[in-house]
Amino acid sequence: MNETDRNTPVRPVVTALALALLVLAPSIHAEDGPVYGSELQGFDYPYPVALFRFRSQRQDVQMAYMDVAPKGPKANGRTVVLLHGKNYCAATWAPTIDVLSHAGYRVIAVDQIGFCKSSKPQSYQFTFQQLAHNTNDLLKSLHIDKAIVMGHSTGGMLGIRYALIYPDQVDQLVLVDPIGLEDWRAKGVPPVSVDQWYDRELKTTADRIRNYEKTTYFAGQWKPEYEASVQMLAGMYRGPQRDLVAWNSALLYDMIFNEPVVYELPRLQPRTLLMIGDKDVTAIAKDFAPADVRPTLGNYPKLAKDAVAAMPHATLVEFPDAGHAPQMQEPARFHEALLKGLQSAH
């Protein structure tokens, strides 16, 4: 990735046509697929990428982000900040960015430290509080005082933490299948060390990512358009800094596992739109849990109803046939419900 400041776009190496071919290529299932750098060098994003450079924990780091202006004459003066999940990147929000920008919203899609096109530090104390502070500093640099904060999966956990720390700066909170709605440790999952996470992450392959996402994210379904996000992650694990990517991933899993947000839901002040795929069964560290505990984890229909009951100003939208990523599995229904939920809260 070329050096740039936060106002200068990073031009991706791979063209949009090449990315389309990546999705369709029959050889894509081979483990000798595309190779990307530790900051996703070589992988195309749908919009120009800029870098926000700052000091954090005694080191220089940078966050990659896309800043997409409203399209056409429909600008409504509102900004949506998109927070990705653990196994996704800002680029995965491309269809949602397109829908929101055409509806008049400015969209900021961020890669958090440790993910995708952002820095992968050798040493970093990952906490949701730290990631929230980083995101807030980015928004300040862009002169954004208030925004709709929208997070998917782990991004939902971050969105909740952000709203708890900066309630007056959140116009509305949108949570798409957030994890952290249950305390896995309290439900019987044993402690998992960073070394255990690291050993597991070193075994990451495209097949493993695809099988996990098919089962957990898409309720047993698979479509060709999902493949690009698999290769996006797998390509970093094929790269020369595989160990660094795996180490950052291990530290992030440790953060997720040990910082459930379920106990703090009653303190959320912003209006909240909770969007849930009822066939979602995601639960961090489920593979480490005893066999009799696993079926009790990730019951999203129940978790969602409990969460809405706990949050002071929440509305629940369910997608009965979708899994962990309804924005990808049922994009038309999802985006219709999203725009309706944003408009009704304004």
Share of the chain above pLDDT 90, in %: 88
Write the pLDDT tens digit of every residue in 196-210.
Answer: 999 999 999 999 999
Q: How does the average pLDDT of the chain come out, rounded?
A: 91
Name the DSSP class of 172: E
User: Structure tokens of 125?
Assistant: 């104390």
Rounded distance between C-alpha atoms, residue 112 and residue 118, angstroms: 6
Band of pLDDT at residue 270, cut at 50, 70 and 90 = very high
pLDDT at 346: 65
Find out whether 117 and 49 touch, Cβ atoms under 8 Å: yes
- Tell me the two tokens of residue 339: 């725009």
**Predicted pLDDT of residue 199:** 98
pLDDT tens for residues 276-310?
Answer: 999 999 999 999 999 999 999 999 999 999 999 99
Quick one: angle between helices 227-237 and 242-258, nearest 10?
Answer: 110
Whether residue 25 has pLDDT greater than 50: no
What pLDDT was estimated at residue 31? 63
Asked whether residue 272 carries a pLDDT value surpassing 90, the answer given is yes
Q: What is the rounded distance in angstroms from the CA atom of residue 313 to the CA atom of residue 315?
A: 7
pLDDT grade for 73, boundaries at 50, 70 and 90: confident
**pLDDT category of residue 72 using cuts at 50, 70 and 90:** confident
Contact 125, 56 (CB under 8 A): no
Write down the pLDDT at residue 27.
35
The pLDDT of residue 99 is above 60: yes
What single letter denotes the amino acid at residue 61?
Answer: V
Q: Are 263 and 61 in contact (CB under 8 A)?
A: no
pLDDT tens by residue, 108-144: 999 999 999 999 999 999 999 999 999 999 999 999 9
pLDDT range class, residue 19, cuts 50, 70, 90: very low
Per DSSP, the residues of 268-325 read --S-EEEEEETT----TTGGGS-TTTGGGS--HHHHHHHHHHHSTTEEEEEETT--S-
Q: Which residue has the tokens 């979708």?
A: 322
**What pLDDT does residue 74 have?**
82
Mean pLDDT, to the nearest integer, of 154-173? 98
Does pLDDT of 5 surpass 90? Answer: no
SS (H, E, C) 72-119: CCCCCCCEEEEECCCCCCHHHHHHHHHHHHHCCCEEEEECCCCCCCCC
Average pLDDT estimate for 53-65 = 98
SS3 label, residue 224: helix
pLDDT at 190 over 60: yes
**Residue 2 pLDDT exceeds 80:** no
335, pLDDT greater than 50: yes
Residue 317 has what pLDDT? Answer: 98
The residue whose two tokens read 């969105």 is 159
Give the neighbor-by-neighbor strand order of the sheet with 272-277.
Answer: 50-56, 59-68, 106-110, 79-83, 147-152, 170-176, 272-277, 314-319
Q: What is the DSSP letter of 217?
A: I
- Rounded to an integer, the average pLDDT of 45-53 is 98
What separation in angstroms does the CA of 69 have from each of 95, 101, 110, 135, 335? 15, 7, 15, 19, 18
Residue 100 token pair: 């929101």
Per residue in 227-264, pLDDT tens? Answer: 999 999 999 999 999 999 999 999 999 999 999 999 99
